[in-house]
Amino acid sequence: MKPYQHIKIIECHQPLVPIPDNEFILENPSAYVKLGADYQGKSPYFLREEVLKRLLKAKAKLAQIKPHWQIKIFDAYRPVNVQQFMVDYTFNSICCDRQLDTNFLTPWEKASIYEEVYQIWAIPSDNPLTPPPHSTGSAIDLTLIDENGVEINMGGEIDELSERSNPNYYSKATNEQEQKYHENRQILLEIMTYSGFRRHLGEWWHFSYGDQMWAWLEDYNLSAIAKYGTVGINGIHPNK
């Protein structure tokens, strides 16, 4: 288990609400739908009610810093079955890239590859005590768009399996272009932390509010409490 998964959850039963496409850039169809993920006809662009309010606050903050920039949502609510799909997809992609036959992997090889996969993907657990962050409706993956409608270069792609995904990868860069990557990441961090979000320690694009990871990152105190657990694709809390 990861440290944040020891955090207690007291579910507040706040509903999932749609992310308005007139306020944010939403890719349609979404990235994982393009890969074949099954959202059962639903959209991934949902968040808990308070999380959306805070995202709107982040948008207002961005307008103060970069008046013509916008927030682009890459992914938000992710059912556990989609989480499992992406874990499997990433596992198979790594095997394909390395020309490995998944039917003939040794237990050690499988474990090693899954260790890489779980660097960016939470375990798709049905356990109500250890929900994947995105399955709570309180985690969001996002980036920024400039005044010309072009994605800001963050020096790495969302979901990239490399050291470049570390938020502070470019923090000590001496190259001017790489310093710009860090500056762009810091703008994203500033608007999100201003609004109460906390950033994933290993992913520059992932922010959350109200889930176990958020509660732990608030003060690294295991006595902290999260208020969002797993929520079903129809907004139904499995344990209500």
Q: How many Å apart are CA 228 and CA 139, to the nearest integer? A: 10
Q: How many Å apart are CA 25 and CA 142, to the nearest integer? A: 10
Q: How many Å apart are CA 159 and CA 121, to the nearest integer? A: 9
Catalytic machinery residues: 203
At 237, list the tokens.
């809390």
SS (H, E, C) 18-41: ECCCCCCEECCCCHHHHHCCCCCC
Can you list the alpha helix ranges (DSSP code H) found in the chain?
31-35, 49-65, 80-97, 107-117, 176-194, 212-219
The residue length of the chain stands at 240
